[in-house]
Every structure is written in C-alpha cells, then in structure tokens.
Amino acid sequence: MADVETYIKDLKDSIIKRDPNQPEFQEAAFTVLDTLKPVLEKHPEYVKNNILGSLVEPERAIQFRVPWQDDEGNFHINRGFRVQFNSAIGPYKGGLRLHPSVNLSIVKFLGFEQILKNSLTGLPIGGGKGGSDFNPKGKSDSEIMRFCQSFMTELQKFIGPDLDVPAGDIGVGGREIGYLFGQYKRLNGFQGGILTGKGLQYGGSLARTEATGFGLIYFLNALIKDQKDTLKGKTVKISGAGNVAIYALQKAQENGAKVVTVSDSNGYVYDPNGIDLATVKQIKEVERGRIKEYADKISTAEYHEGSVWDLDINYDIALPCATQNEINEDQAKLMVKDGAKYIAEGANMPSNTDAIAVYKQNDIIYGPAKAANAGGVAVSALEMSQNSERLSWTFDDVDKQLKDIMEDIYQKIADADAEYGLNKDYQAGANIAGFEKVAKAMLAQGLV
C-alpha cells in the first residue's frame, strides 16, 4: 500500500492528466486532498480502498444542448450541465448556475465542494451541481422562461425527489425555479420534491430565500463567540449584492454590525454610514438593476468600478458573497493591512489558494465556504422534508433549525480542529469533518 504522501501525489497527477483543462476543479480537489492527510494517516483503510480516488471522480457528468429563441426570433444554443458527484449519504443535491463562465470545470468544482458541505449539515444529502453558460443579464422575462423550459426539458430525464434535487445558485432565483418547476410539471405531473427554492404557494419553504445569508451570520457568530469576541460594533465588508449578500447584510445589521460595502461584477459601493438594506433590495430584487444605482439614491455612498477587495479602508470582518476566486494574494494582504480579523465565505471558493495562505500566516480566522455557506442547502433539505410529509413549517421553526445546524457545523469543525491538533485551521477542520461521514458511508457500501 502506498504511503499517504505518494497516494495524494499520484491522485493529483491523475487528476491533472485526466482533466488538464479544469483549473477550478483542480483547485478545489487539491485543497481537500492536502488537508485530509492526517485522516489518511489515522485511517489506512481509506487509502487501501482508494476512497479518495472515488471521491474525486463524479458518479455521472451529464452535458446537453439547450436551444432557445430570443424575443427577436433568433435561435441560440447553450450548453447545459448536471454533475451528479456523490450519492453515498443521500440523493444528489446542489444548485444550478446560469452565468457565461459556466463550464465543466466550474460545475465539477462546485459539485465536489457540495459533497463535503452537504455532509457537514448532518442531513442525508449527496453532492451535485449544474448550470449553463447562458447569460441571464439583460434578458426579458419571456427569454428567461423559454430558456428555463428548454433546459428542464432535458434535465428532467435525470432528476427526481430521491435521485437528484437541484436548486438555485448564481443567476437562478425564485423566478427561474418557478419556470423550471412549471416545465417539469408539464412533462411529468406535480412532484413537489424535484426542486428546492420553490415559491411558497407550491411547496417552497419559508426561510429558504434568507437561509444562506442568515446561516453565514449564524456560523460567524458561533466562530466569533468562540474567540470570546462579538459581532456587535464590527465594521464589515460584503461583496456581491445577490441572494447570499443581501441576507448576510440583513442579519449582520440585526446583530449590530456596520456593513459598509456591497458589489456586483462591475463595481462596488462604499457607504461609511452603513449600507441601506431596503435600497439594495429595491435595486437588486425588484428592479433587477446594477449596484451603481445605489450611489444615485444614497448621497453618502461612493461608487467605484473594480473589486471591493481593492478598497483600502479599516474594517474587521470580510464576507465574500459574490463568486469563486474573487480574492487573490495581494487583496488578502490588503485585508491584513486593513486590520481584518475574520473572514467567513458566503460564496463558493471566493479565496484563491494564495489568499488562504495569507490568512493562515497572519492569524486571520478563516471560516471556509463549505461550512459557512451551508445554510442554503441545509434549508433546502428541510424543504425536501416538508415536501415529503406534505406540511409547511413556520418561518421561526425553520430559522431555529437553521441556526442550530450552523452552530453544530461550527462545533464539528472546531472539534475536528482540536482532535487533529490543527491550531484553528478551520479549512482543514471542515474538510475532515465533512469527509469522515462520506468516507465511512463509501467504505460500507463497497466498490461502487
């Protein structure tokens, strides 16, 4: 049997050889492989049974054509994906992303992260992810509807309430889930459990809209409390102005923090008086506008093109809630210079590998995405439970369960950190705690 170092190195080499053009997937997989070394030392059976070899290879990766017609009658062809990565502990579960950057590498990195994230929730859900390189920006409602109908016409062959349950991600919110659900129903009849993030009138869960952002703050609170500190009075930078960012902003403010930035892919607003939540909701949720418009409405705010992580101000907490690799090494160094003490990731893989090294070298306490943003998928799993029992729970009931789950996730990763002597390396703690449950299930189920 290979020693652990050689085993990991051979696995990385085989990933590079098989998938040379998948940098995002390599980044996600290599980070996990590197942090699992202490578990493999303790559990040689995982090496003997090549559990990690199975973990990094999706059970199934589906790619399909998505034809749709725009309002002027032109024909377009996009590419759709669903990667069903791992079903060891439950049906595949994870969102759908609509963004021009979507390709197999991005869907695989997201699906891979989802395996360990879903495991951390303690709920019976496996990992998957999907999406398309369709760009929803500037499209009319009818174009979005026609695209979603075409996408679901193909996707419906591969999903089911006990098989694979997609949800939203970048570019997929309540409107898109509604169109996707409608098309599924037209083809197969009403089956509430085939998607989550549904409207409240047809099987959605209260608090799913808020779940990822609220969950991020529940997680952050647990982490900060453990450092004998508090969120109250802290200055916070948030990136993004979508679903995750908006509800992180709301809950951070409810906890007495001052959030001074939000952003989109064009630029960011900095409001030293604190961002006005209602204005952001109006621009992004109602008008579907650009964040630049915030500065037209609020006189204390400045708008700048570019990345919010290049803004040089003193602050305490970073909450990246936009997209992958939005923070690089130099931006992480600026974070250190600006006095930030904590980072908790609302987006998936927003910090690149070099940025994470800077956090660790400078004692910035780092809450990694797969733990910090697990609230969305956790409430999705609660939506699945409500669909199965044909009941709807109250907002407070779901919110309370969400809070408990996020605190439990923090405890699991802190315990793993302590057990393996990781010295507050919560990234390794999250990977280890998420992996152990999946690995035990995979081992029990044999070579499948």
Ligand X SMILES: O=C(O)CCC(=O)C(=O)O
Ligand Y SMILES: NC(=O)C1=CN([C@@H]2O[C@H](COP(=O)(O)OP(=O)(O)OC[C@H]3O[C@@H](n4cnc5c(N)ncnc54)[C@H](O)[C@@H]3O)[C@@H](O)[C@H]2O)C=CC1
Which residues contribute to the annotated binding site?
A: 93, 114, 117, 168, 212, 243, 380
User: Residue 223 touches which of ligand X, ligand Y, none (CB < 5 to 8 A by kind)?
Assistant: none
The distance of Cα 396 from the centroid of its chain, to the nearest Å, equals 23
Token readout for 429 is 């703690």
Query: According to the binding rule CB under 6 A, does residue 164 interact with ligand X?
Result: no
Kindly tell me which of 183 and 380 has the beta carbon lying closer to ligand X: 380
User: Residue 320 touches which of ligand Y, ligand X, none (CB < 5 to 8 A by kind)?
Assistant: none
In the complex, minimum distance from the CB of residue 102 to ligand Y, in angstroms, rounded to a whole number: 11
Kindly tell me which of 47 and 104 has the beta carbon lying closer to ligand X: 104
User: Residue 180 touches which of ligand X, ligand Y, none (CB < 5 to 8 A by kind)?
Assistant: none
Q: Count of alpha carbons within 13 Å of 134, Cβ hemisphere only? A: 34
| Nearest-angstrom CA–CA distance, 218 and 212 | 10
Site residues for ligand Y, window 315-374 (CB under 6 A)? 321-323, 326, 346-348, 373
In the complex, minimum distance from the CB of residue 401 to ligand Y, in angstroms, rounded to a whole number: 16
In the complex, minimum distance from the CB of residue 216 to ligand X, in angstroms, rounded to a whole number: 11
Instruction: Compose the 129-168 pattern: x for residues touching ligand Y by CB under 6 A, - for all others.
Output: ---------------------------------------x
Kindly tell me which of 235 and 351 has the beta carbon lying closer to ligand X: 351
Going by the DSSP 8-state scheme, the letter that residue 338 receives in this structure is: T
Instruction: Compose the 197-226 pattern: x for residues touching ligand Y by CB under 6 A, - for all others.
Output: ---------------x--------------
Marked catalytic residue, from 37, 42, 129, 341 = 129
User: Residue 264 touches which of ligand X, ligand Y, none (CB < 5 to 8 A by kind)?
Assistant: ligand Y
Please select the residue that binds ligand Y; options are 171, 193, 204, 434, rule is CB under 6 A: 171
Please answer whether residues 336 and 358 qualify as being in contact, where contact means their C-beta atoms are separated by less than 8 angstroms: yes
Q: How many CB atoms lie within 10 A of CB 287?
A: 10
| Nearest-angstrom CA–CA distance, 82 and 64 | 9
Kindly tell me which of 32 and 322 has the beta carbon lying closer to ligand Y: 322
Query: According to the binding rule CB under 6 A, does residue 176 interact with ligand X?
Result: no
In the complex, minimum distance from the CB of residue 109 to ligand X, in angstroms, rounded to a whole number: 11
User: Residue 93 touches which of ligand X, ligand Y, none (CB < 5 to 8 A by kind)?
Assistant: ligand X
Share in percent of the chain as helix, strand, coil (round to 5): 50, 15, 35
Phi then psi dihedrals of residue 353, to 5 deg: -60, -40
- Annotated binding-site residues for substrate read 93, 114, 117, 168, 380
Which run of H or of E encompasses 132? strand 126-132
Please answer whether residues 361 and 335 qualify as being in contact, where contact means their C-beta atoms are separated by less than 8 angstroms: no
Phi then psi dihedrals of residue 199, to 5 deg: -65, 155
Please answer whether residues 407 and 225 qualify as being in contact, where contact means their C-beta atoms are separated by less than 8 angstroms: no
Kindly tell me which of 64 and 268 has the beta carbon lying closer to ligand Y: 268
Residues in a beta bridge with 318: 237, 343
In the complex, minimum distance from the CB of residue 68 to ligand Y, in angstroms, rounded to a whole number: 19
Kindly tell me which of 40 and 349 has the beta carbon lying closer to ligand Y: 349
| Nearest-angstrom CA–CA distance, 438 and 433 | 9
| Nearest-angstrom CA–CA distance, 291 and 300 | 15
Site residues for ligand X, window 195-224 (CB under 6 A)? 196
Token readout for 287 is 């008008």
- 403 given a catalytic annotation: no
Q: How many CB atoms lie within 10 A of CB 440?
A: 16
Which run of H or of E encompasses 332? helix 329-337
- Annotated binding-site residues for NAD(+) read 212, 243
In the complex, minimum distance from the CB of residue 398 to ligand X, in angstroms, rounded to a whole number: 13
Token readout for 16 is 């590079």
CA 43, 45, 48, 49 torsion-angle sign? negative
Interface residues with ligand Y (CB under 6 A)? 168-171, 173, 212, 240-245, 263-265, 321-323, 326, 346-348, 373, 376
Enumerate the active-site residues.
Answer: 129
Interface positions with ligand X (CB under 6 A): 93-95, 117, 167, 169, 196, 348, 373, 376-377, 380
